[in-house]
Structure 1
Amino acid sequence: MMTPSPHVKDSINTQKVMLTVAIALLPSLLAALYYFSFPALVLVATCVISCVVFEQLFCMVTKTQSSIHDCSAVVTGMILGFNVPVTLPLWMAIVGSFIAIVVVKCLFGGIGCNFANPAATARIFLLVSFATAMTNWVAPLHGVADTVASATPGRAMCNVMGVDYLAAATPLSSHVVEKPGFMQLLLGQHGGSLGETCAIALIIGGAFLLWRGIITWHIPVSVIGSVFVFALLFGQDPIFSILTGGVMIGAFFMATDYSTSPVTPKGQIIFGIGIGFITMVIRTFCSYPEGMSFAILLMNILTPHIDSLTMTKPFGAVFAEKNK
């Protein structure tokens, strides 16, 4: 019996890929638990459970086969939980999970059919809809979250660029937040969303994905490298720019989403450079504290065009077209 290509068989499947990504996210989860204590676990668990429940309910309402066994909803919930502050009300996290799973993923056909990254889009929705709650970061202190809101390093960098980053803090935060050192950024000893603070945990998780072959180097390297280059061109500290905000989690865990990123290595590099450029433009010239999610969403929209420009044609296709 004749079957269409590809004919290569492999033991890897969607469930195994998603479980590997979930394992890669564990170092960041442990760091969040250390710095933000039990509320961090509650928030991430709320996002994960909400995503799984919404996907199952959608399958029941539409009378389609349940897809929660592939664990993609679990990964989406974890990444969404890492993209919000620990102080975010749980009902807002549930709303974000609904946007990610039902609106962005399921309504477009489920896994592999969505045109945009669910977690990035949900974060943008929450930031636009609940700006105060989404920018109410707390300073971590050895597993106990300080009750005084503080600016993230992204906000501190905006202050260097002439933007008043204390506008997002509560009136209690009248003191000036100093720019954290590189070691603080690596270890996560600064304010921010749950999964964005500890850069070393994200690097460990990203290296694990590279080692397992789940992702390739093209997108992470091009994203991080372009942020470095454009930070220099825009007069910013390049190392500081890489270690702050959502650069690391975006480069390793969000931009590398199979269904929303280009398939060719050349296209992936173009995709990553575009993300780095848009991120630094937003950070430098806009009032938003972070541009990674916006950059990923915009480049997701351009992915089909990047694929059409970089996809190689089968042997003989050009000759056949010329002789039509």
Structure 2
Amino acid sequence: MVEPRHASAPPEIAIDVSGLSKSFGGRTVVENLSMQVRRGSIYGFLGPNGSGKTTTIRMLCGLLTPDSGQGTCLGYDIRRDADRIKLRVGYMTQRFSLYQDLSVRENLEFVARLYGMARPRTAARDMIRRLGLDGREEQLAGELSGGWKQRLALGACTLPGPDLLLLDEPTAGVDPKARREFWNEIHALAAEGLTVLVSTHYMDEAERCHEIAYIAYGKLLAHGTVEQVIAQSALTTYTVTGADLNGLSAELANKDGVDMVAPFGNSLHVSGRDAAALETSIAPYRARDGIAWQKSEPSLEDVFIELMGRSKDNFR
């Protein structure tokens, strides 16, 4: 018999929390966080190391009890129904956590039996086929490359049919081709109704998410679609090309109105939140010979770097 679910959140909302806070050893790791995640969406969490991303994700799905705040995950109360939530969650960590000395097939069959699936061999065989692991069934997991290990770990996490998938920097150390194939599969799973929470440092991965949240030292500073987060930043950005960009970067770094200076290939991105102050500071450099200034749309990486700089100052 399926237990009745908490009815406070609309059915299209997978996660609905408010006022979540968590401290460890007197240090606040997450402070007064509120957010919603829609079912079938891929929600990305960005932020510096130690910013509270993993703690936030664990509280959202009942794996960690908040000190204060409330909410629901998959219709269940995150405080009262944590054990029920855990049964519906798949969790893929950075570190490969399957048995290195078992084959691909044996690992998947073991997971299927662990979850009491009726036909473990069939379930493992279907997952092998879905993830393109055909021909590698009898290969030991420890002998797989990083990309294939990642694919196997994803198969093990999703084999029991969870409603929510947690990915903690899942593609660290994986080549670009394997990363792209991994994300293609994540989007296919989301299209089937799976909700995905993922922490990442890669901008191209953040841009593959339906929505993103930027967390720094326990505080949610920005969230929404990539387009919304860029718009909310209110950054004015210039792309600068020409000679001695390194010298120009050093000159601009501490000017009023210049919130970010960062090299991008053969160009320099110069951004500021106060457009008037930025224009005043860069005016003397606009006519410099051998340098071209082009006003441009800020990238997600521009916003990320600017938020990191601001967060560091707040933390200090």
Higher helix share: 1
| TM-score, normalization by structure 2 | 0.28
Higher strand share: 2
| TM-score, normalization by structure 1 | 0.27
Q: Which has the larger Rg?
A: 2
